[in-house]
Chains A and B, each alone.
Chain A
Amino acid sequence: MNDTPLSLTTAFHIGPLPVTLPVVITWGIIVFLAALSFGLTRRLSMRPSWPQAVLEMIVTAIDGQIRATIPGDPARFRDLVGTLLLFVLIANWSSLVPGVEPPTAHLETDAALALVVFVATIFYGIRAQGLGGYLASFARPTWVMIPLNLIEQVTRTFSLMVRLFGNVMSGVFVIGILLSLAGLLAPIPLMALDLLTGAVQAYIFATLALVFIAAAVEDGTPDSKETRP
């Protein structure tokens, strides 16, 4: 445990590159999700077992959410949105493991996620409308809006990053403070609340990413459909 959740602890070095603890935990999450996925999807059958049914329910729910936001085949965005949702969810809930600090409680992880969303938004927008069409979308409704739209592209990505970071980090902070002040069992209710907060934040992050992509794909107007939680 660090002195402050905002500081990064270097676990080891790969050559000149320091590998920090959030990266290691992220690798653990990746291994966990990969092993879980591989183990559960090895023997898929037409008559699903209950784990397969849960997986299908999750995928179907993601597809339903995508389809509700962007008409058409949800498979185009399923991998990205699903990955964001599952990673943020598991990362947020990793705080339940003793000694593990959620990677999303560090700004670098949230910034990486937000950057992926930002790039994906541009990628899908260009793929849907072409480069000219996508750039022209910044001039809607008038060319006067170009600066504001450009700024909005950055600010909403920044808010996406900061929102996740602030919520998770604050939870870690509160639990750490309570743990240092009240003892072993006192933070348990807050940890339960942190579970709920983590799930909600994962949903919000994935949904906002989907909304940003939808705005870029549907009409090219990068208007903010962001909902302020």
Chain B
Amino acid sequence: MNFDWTTFAFQIVNVLVLLAILKHFLFRPVAGIIKARQEETDAAIARAEATRAEAQAAAAQAKAEAEANAAARRDILQKAQEEAAAERARLLDEARAEAARLLTSVQAQADDLVVKAEAKTLARALDLAETITARAFAAQPRPPTPAGYAARLVEAVAALPDDSRASMFGSGPLILVPAQPLSDADLAAVRAAFAAVPELAGQTPEVAIDPELIAGLDLRTPSGVVHNSLAHDLARMAEALDGDGPGG
């Protein structure tokens, strides 16, 4: 076995040449493309990270904006509520003031109406009093003395139906009721007037004073009364006026 130094030298050169060739045509390009892909992957990851960071920032910003909007909405609602409350209070105050003003006005009108009504009532009362007084005065005898009332009493008795008159005056004693005590002259005038009615002629009635009659002479028996007084006239007028209604 011989060692060929020429072949040994050739093979050293060959290995070095192959080293250069593979370095230039194989390892460097392939490692380069691997590195480029790795860099692209890193860049993509970096972009993804940046995008994610941007998305997170955008989400945070959106959240902040949402919170700000919510706060603004709350502020607006609170402000609106405050304004509504203030407006409500203002309207209530105005309504109260208006109501008070209206109440005052109505009260004034009512007072005015009351005054007017009172004046009207008073006027009507005066008119009624005048009417009553005039009618009562017209119904009283002339002169309004016991003799005059005795004459009007006799006329009233004479106007009664015969059977009524007979039953009334045949039932018992007569009571003559004046408003004031009668003098003897007045009693004599009364007897004289009774003479015109057969059922009363010759009778001497008892006398019972009743101041409520105001004026006049009533004739009472156990079975009835013949009214002939100013009080009775006034009562009948009042009943008549009450039946006629206001202003009747």
- A residues contacting B by CB (< 8 A) are 6-8, 17-20, 22-23, 26-27, 29-30, 33-34, 37-38, 40-41, 44-46, 48, 52, 55-56, 58-60, 63, 75, 78-80, 82-83, 86-87, 103, 106-109, 111-113, 115-116
Contacts and interface: CB of A to CB of B under 8 A. Distances in A.
B60 interface: no
B6 interface: yes
B16 to A, nearest CB: 7
B22 A20 contact: no
Interface stretch (B30-38, B48-56, B103-111, B197-205): B30-38
A33 B18 contact: yes
A66 B8 CA distance: 28
Contacts of B15: 83, 87, 112-113, 116
Contacts of B7: 8, 20, 22-23, 106, 108-109
18 contacts: A7-B1, A8-B4, A19-B10, A23-B7, A23-B11, A23-B14, A30-B18, A33-B22, A34-B21, A37-B26, A52-B30, A58-B30, A59-B27, A79-B23, A80-B19, A82-B26, A87-B15, A113-B15
B108 to A, nearest CB: 101
B40 A78 contact: no
Nearest to B17: A30
A98 to B, nearest CB: 23
Given A20-B7, A111-B8, A55 B26 contact: yes
Given A8-B4, A44-B29, A78-B27, A83 B18 contact: yes
A58 B9 CA distance: 29
Contacts of B3: 107-108, 111
B12 interface: yes
Contacts of B33: 44-46, 48, 52, 56
Contact of A87 (B10, B18, B25, B31): B18
Nearest to A39: B25
Closest 4 A/B residue pairs (Cβ): A112-B11, A37-B26, A37-B25, A108-B7
A88 B18 CA distance: 12
Contacts of B23: 79, 83
Contacts of A27: 14
A80 B15 CA distance: 10
B22 A56 contact: no
A44 B4 contact: no
Given A56-B33, A63-B31, 6 more contacts: A29-B18, A37-B25, A40-B26, A79-B27, A83-B19, A112-B15
A108 B30 contact: no
A12 B5 CA distance: 16
Contact of A82 (B14, B17, B22, B36): B22
Nearest to A112: B11
A6 B26 CA distance: 33
B21 A33 contact: yes
